[in-house]
Amino acid sequence: MKHLEGKVALVTGATRGIGKGIAISLGEAGAIVYITGRSLDKSISPANNGISGSLEETRAAIEEVGGVCIPVPVDHSNDEQVRSLFDRIQDEQHGQLDLLVNNVFSGVQALSDAQGKPFWDFEPSLWDSCNNVGLRSHYVTSVFAARMMSKRNSGLICTISSWGGLSYIFGAAYGVGKSGCDRLAADMAVELKPYNIASLSLWPGIVGTEHISRLTSQMNENNATNQRNSLLVERYNWETPLLTGRVVAALAADSSVMLRTGRVQIVAELAQHYKLVDQNGDRPVSLRSLRFLMPFALPVLRKYTWLIPDLKVPWLLLLLTTLKSPQI
């Protein structure tokens, strides 16, 4: 269904992974989708650990599902390139921008290299690798997007974050960055609300992106499985990037989305609310569902998940639990 026909969207960091999945779903829903990334044509670079991905490949995938895509090479560490991107959208779309998805992130390889080691074993530049093209880039793109959206008194800004904003996952630099993403979305929502612009933070579950799949294979080969990363290696309750895309498309079409502004939203819970399924027809459970948490604490239960009720742990209780004992 083309329920986003006539809408203009921008997805940052869409050459692969979650960004690519979101862009494809938005194109399938009928939106004009601008996408950014550093590689226009197909390329495999050491910085991406041998994983291919390009703007042209994403455009081809969007056009395959009947969508319209405009790829724009952008280095999100360069503010002037970002400014030029929004100038282009302003000119080509006559000032219309309905949706911004803050997804770009350059820290995957740095985090992979740092996996299993304490933060002090690495140079302080690990922080920049995680949070420059990440948290800071999300702020910069939101500034330019809000300037356009506020003139039309409408819009939606989705900032892709993760469970790492609440509980330890990939280290201190990563966790602070994701916590910052959640707070950025919440505080922007306060200032954007009078202009009818929604801002929310979106938590996908464990998404089987190209990089995550490679990381889990390395963990398995190196026998690096422990309590914190066993869910990755076993691919328990995994999602595909397409599910996040379908959820974003549903949010963009939801006339009551302002009711969600300023809050963290979990992809699996929104999929349940909007009656969406993943690429394989399944629907994963929420990261705060007993059906997810109990098998994590007691691995033997993973064979009997259907016996565990899909009940959500209240946010306050979840916060107190993770502060006492990190979960993942």
Q: What is the DSSP string of 218-270?
A: HHHHTT---TTTHHHHHTTTEE-HHHHHHHHHHHHH-TTGGGGTTSEEEHHHH
- The alpha carbon of 286 is separated from its chain's Cα centroid by a whole number of angstroms, namely 15
What does the angle CA 119 – CA 180 – CA 125 come to, to the nearest 5 degrees?
35
- The alpha carbon of 111 is separated from its chain's Cα centroid by a whole number of angstroms, namely 16
DSSP 133: I
Cα 247 from Cα 267, distance rounded (Å) = 7
Q: Which of 34, 139, 168, 174 is catalytic?
A: 174
Cα 57 from Cα 41, distance rounded (Å) = 7
DSSP 288: T
Cα 239 from Cα 28, distance rounded (Å) = 19
313 vs 217, 270, 294, CA distance in Å? 31, 16, 11
Length reported for the chain: 328
Query: Interhelix angle for 17-28 vs 241-253, to 10°?
Result: 50
| Structure-block tokens of residue 162 | 């993760």
Longest dimension (CA), the chain: 57
Active site residue 174: yes
3-41 burial, b at 16+ Cβ within 10 Å, e below that, comes to ebeebbbbbbbbbbbbbbbbbbbbbbbbbbbbbbbbbee
Catalytic positions, written as ranges: 174
